Amino acid sequence: MDASAAGERAAAPAKGFGGKPWFWWPWPVLVVLDLWSKSVVFGFLAERYPHRVEAGRSHLVFDTAGLRFDLVAWGNTGTIWGLFQDGTLVLMVVRCLAVVGLLWFVRGTAPGARWQQFVLSLVFAGALGNLYDNFVRADRSVRDFLRFSGQWPVPWDFPAFNVADSCITVGAIGLFLLLWREDRAAARQRVS
């Protein structure tokens, strides 16, 4: 083996799952937080409003200065923002494939790429939290319970969401920004 081939091999990041704590440590904690929060809120609403069907349970937390926050017990059979309603089985397959894809992506991530590991962990945690609901709930819906609405600058109503949805959203935005930054750095390096 010549010296240039040995240098290229040494410079290439090692593939595998070892040495990536920024991926392995956050997601179990976030999955537990997601499942715990869903259980607590849905349990609270069932206890507080036993005479209402699950989808009709809502509890006002605050309504001040044009911002309203409610805890709700909504089952979402679609995906983010309620899109693709009643496509649950297809979405379950897509989510399972996404989990496998994320693991493949993590395997190829450099051990020193901490932020990339972390944002992948966020997306992974969100996918697992929502998949749990898909597989355990009788109607295969995902439990959403955080609902915000407001009056300023125009009346608006944000779709209900959960901790898993937040993890997926923040992780996806973070991954986009990291990849964008890497792309810009590579473009600058090609120019110079």
Tokens coding 80: 């983010």
Contact 175, 123 (CB under 8 A): yes
- CA–CA separation, 44 vs 171, rounded Å? 29
Burial of 50 (C-beta count, 10 Å sphere; 0-12/13-18/19+): exposed
Q: Which of 78, 71, 17 is nearest to 44 (CA)?
A: 71
Strand partners, 59: 71
Active site residue ranges: 144, 165
